[in-house]
Amino acid sequence: MKNLTLTFIFTVVTVFTANAQYDDLYTFEKGKSLIGMDAGVKFGADNKIAVSAFYEYSLFNLFVDECTLGAGVFGGYYRDKLKGEVEKIYITGVRVNVHYQFVDRLDTYAGLDPNFNIKTYKIQKDEAGFACYIHIGGRYYLTNWLGVFAEISTGYNNFRGGLSIKF
């Protein structure tokens, strides 16, 4: 919770103090990279809260300059406590996204997350397995390099949001 509060404060301060002009022609053009951190929640009976980080590289343009294919890696940690049982999930995988810029400063994207996850339990037997999730999201750039984003997904997070840095 402390890290989430610090991230929120950092975002608010950055939004109000950033005075740099946004002069990139496209939000995520070929050859650019992204790193990011986020927090998410899965709504339902157990309301899992998760944190994760990712790296993505823009491979090439698709059809037009506003549309790119990006690929990268991600990792996450999820903890849940339900009826005395503690479940911890460690996840790592690949992200593949198609990005399209409809308006200035807004990067919309959709993609797949093939991954491997390990579930550890306090009482039950541990599990491991492969899964694949889909997601759709949007990233708004506050400056040329700093963006805030939100996603919906079929994975361990129904909703997640965070910060990303483009370089």
More confident residue, 17 or 72: 72
Report how far residue 143's alpha carbon sits from residue 8's, in angstroms, rounded to the nearest whole number. 17
- Model confidence pLDDT, tens digit, residues 59-113: 988 888 889 999 999 999 988 777 778 888 899 999 999 999 999 899 999 999 9
Which pLDDT score, from 0 to 100, does residue 147 have? 94
Q: In 101-113, which positions are buried (b, 16+ CB within 10 angstroms) versus exposed (e)?
A: beeeeebbbebbb
Enter the pTM of the model.
0.79
| pLDDT beyond 70 at 156 | yes
